[in-house]
Structure 1
Amino acid sequence: MKQVGFLLLLVCLFGFNVNAQTSAPEVPATSAENAIKMVKEKYDIGKVPQGKPVTFYMEFLNETKKPLVVKSVMAGCGCTVPEKPKEPIMPGKTGKIKVEYSAPSAGPVNKDVEIYVAGYNEPKVVYFTGEVVAKK
């Protein structure tokens, strides 16, 4: 009798476990693409002398109906240092991401900056290109 009770308990526990795993799927992640519109989708910094830092700004428009907070900005390498706006961007207004790129070696430049916005799970990714010209 104990064995039957134990087996019944195992079947019930297994049934609850299966039921827990088949619950409704999670809501898809939201993207910052829905909140901001870049003035340019790709920036060209042109020809840059090797070893000399270049600073430029990536501009975007707040397309939401509430103030937009940029939580963080990240670059794919240490040679690119992005800086987020300090204040919230009001609806319909423009914000700027300051980007400093230190050209470590000569050759083509293909880099990205990820913009993380409060309330959105996925970043907006913006690219910049250029060419680093070797020192003479």
Structure 2
Amino acid sequence: MNTTFKLLAISSLALFSFQSCNKKSEPADQIKIDTMTAGPVNPNETSIKEAQSKPLTTVAISEDNFDFGVIKKGDVKSHTYEITNTGTNPLIISEVKPGCGCTIPEFTKDPILPGQKGNITLKFESEAFDGVVHKTADVFANTAKAPITLNFTADIK
């Protein structure tokens, strides 16, 4: 009975994820179950631990919110956020996780030395949306505050 409940819960989560963004939803088989507590494992917790396993540094971001303004339905828009390593250790961006499959991240994969800059680009595919949307992406790096959340909005007509 307990196994049936778990499968039903996972199926419901997968269906909800698919409905919240019709493109590139994460498959249900990527949901991990903690067998000790019989609950879902927070995938961000694993990403945070991995990112913070390196010597920590500090960063400055050009902006954490961007507004695309009014865009036409079906347009693909992208914005690049500039990240500066303000600390004393190399900055290592281990992962950028968008909140939805309609957002595709690209980021500097090489270590960013102290005083140097890197980029995080978020490409947004607007086909599945109407009206005002707000999207996020979590940046996992070797910083004390992790994840760093980037945001953007668009008004799709």
Larger RCO of the pair (alpha carbons < 8 Å, separation 6+): 1
**Matching residue's letter, 1:107:** G
1:114 corresponds to which of 116, 138, 147: 138
SS in 2 for 1:68: coil
Unaligned runs of 5+ in 1: 1-28
How many Å apart are 1:88 and its aligned residue? 1.3
CA deviation vs aligned residue, 1:13-59 (integer Å, no higher than 9, x gap)? xxxxxxxxxxxxxxxx8998x62211112111122211121121111
Unaligned runs of 5+ in 2: 1-47
- Give me the whole-angstrom Cα distance separating, in 1, the residues matched to 2:113 and 2:83: 12
1:93 correspondence with 2:93: no
CA deviation vs aligned residue, 1:61-91 (integer Å, no higher than 9, x gap)? 1111121110000110111111121211111
TM-score by length of 1: 0.67
Residue 4 (structure 2) aligns with: none
TM-score by length of 2: 0.59
Whichever of the two has the greater Rg, that structure is 1
Give the 4+ runs in structure 1 shifted more than 3 A.
29-32, 118-121
How many Å apart are 1:121 and its aligned residue? 7.4
SS in 1 for 2:78: strand
RMSD: 2.4
2:103 corresponds to which of 62, 66, 80: 80
How many Å apart are 1:119 and its aligned residue? 6.1
- The farther-off stretch of 72-81 and 48-57 is 48-57
- Give me the whole-angstrom Cα distance separating, in 1, the residues matched to 2:69 and 2:154: 5
- Give me the whole-angstrom Cα distance separating, in 2, the residues matched to 1:35 and 1:48: 34
How many Å apart are 1:120 and its aligned residue? 5.0
User: % of aligned pairs identical?
Assistant: 27
Higher strand share: 1
- Give me the whole-angstrom Cα distance separating, in 1, the residues matched to 2:102 and 2:134: 12
Instruction: Count residues with an aligned counterpart.
Output: 104
